[in-house]
């Protein structure tokens, strides 16, 4: 049997985590990202696998944290607080509620090996890393941008903005956004549905 290279979409479909996106011009979904380019959704310019291949100097921790933010919209503070008790034997990771949110469980795809085998020596990551470490890392690699009308660039919260906007753009369902991002109320998720002010 011939082995084939699986795309991130193939992997996500096979694990039940696929949420299709389409390029739709929507002010709430537009972002200014890498190199100041205007783009409609993050899927147009960010491919996790390619990014890691082009940046082999990234540590396993760096890649694992970027994956958690890119694929699942987890807050950097939630990731830094993951403990050994939050990682199951099968590789699922519990994201504990924070800032009025609710717990959720996610399954890392590309960096699952890190969470299963390496993380137990480092968790919680906040003992070793701060959100400022990741802030500087993201700035260095251009993983930031402007969302909506914000004049200030979103850095460690950027992937969360994108995930919420993409889900809302695709389904216009704030309940879905709320559940995906772990918000306690739909009111919190409504931020991702606001239109850009002129």
**What is the per-residue pLDDT for 12?**
43
- The secondary structure of the chain, three-state, reads CCCCCCCHHHHHHHCCCCCCCCCCCCCCCCEEEHHHEEECCHHHCCCHHHHHHHCCCCCHHHHHHHHHHHHHCCCHHHHHCCCHHHECCCCCEEECCCCCECCEEECCCCCHHHHHHHHHHCCCHHHCCCHHHHHHHHHHHCCCEEECCCCCCECCCHHHHHHHHHHHHHHCCHHHHHHHHCECCHHHHHHHHCCCCC
Both tokens of 161, joined, read: 């903005």
For residue 126, CA distances in Å to 28, 78, 82, 101, 144 come to 32, 10, 9, 20, 21
**What is the per-residue pLDDT for 46?**
66
**What is the per-residue pLDDT for 176?**
87
User: Using CA of residue 67, residue 69, residue 70, residue 71, what is the dihedral sign?
Assistant: positive
Whole-prediction pTM value? 0.74
For residue 57, CA distances in Å to 5, 52, 75, 85, 105 come to 23, 9, 23, 29, 29
Structural domains of the chain, ranges and CATH numbers in brackets: 28-191 (1.10.443.10)
**What is the per-residue pLDDT for 181?**
87
pLDDT tens digit at each of 198 positions of the chain: 343 444 444 444 444 443 333 333 333 333 334 333 333 444 444 688 888 889 999 999 999 999 999 889 999 999 999 999 999 999 999 999 877 778 999 999 999 999 999 999 999 999 999 999 999 999 999 888 887 777 888 899 888 888 888 888 888 888 888 888 888 888 877 776 554 333
Q: Which residues pair with 23 in a beta bridge?
A: none
**What is the per-residue pLDDT for 40?**
40
Q: Which residues touch 121 (CB under 8 Å, ≥6 apart)?
A: none
For residue 179, CA distances in Å to 27, 45, 77, 172 come to 23, 25, 18, 13
**What is the per-residue pLDDT for 162?**
84
Reported as a single tens digit per residue, the pLDDT across 24-74 is 333 333 333 433 333 344 444 468 888 888 999 999 999 999 999 988 999
């Amino acid at each position: 049997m011939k082995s084939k290279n699986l795309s991130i979409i193939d992997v996500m479909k096979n694990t039940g985590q696929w949420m299709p996106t389409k390029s739709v011009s929507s002010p709430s979904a537009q972002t200014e990202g890498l190199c100041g380019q205007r783009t409609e959704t993050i899927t147009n310019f960010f491919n996790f696998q390619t990014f890691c291949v082009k940046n082999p100097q990234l540590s396993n921790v760096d890649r694992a944290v970027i994956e958690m933010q890119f694929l699942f919209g987890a807050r950097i503070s939630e990731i830094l607080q993951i403990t050994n008790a939050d990682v199951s034997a099968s590789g699922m990771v519990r994201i504990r509620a924070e800032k009025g949110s609710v717990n959720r469980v996610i399954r890392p795809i590309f960096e699952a090996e890190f969470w299963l085998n390496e993380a137990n020596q480092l968790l919680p990551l906040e003992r070793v890393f701060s959100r400022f470490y990741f802030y500087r890392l993201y700035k260095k690699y251009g993983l930031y941008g402007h969302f909506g009308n914000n004049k200030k660039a979103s850095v460690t919260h950027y992937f969360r903005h994108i995930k919420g906007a993409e889900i809302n753009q695709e389904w216009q369902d704030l309940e879905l956004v709320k559940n995906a991002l772990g918000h306690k109320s739909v009111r919190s998720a409504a931020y991702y549905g606001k239109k850009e002010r002129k």
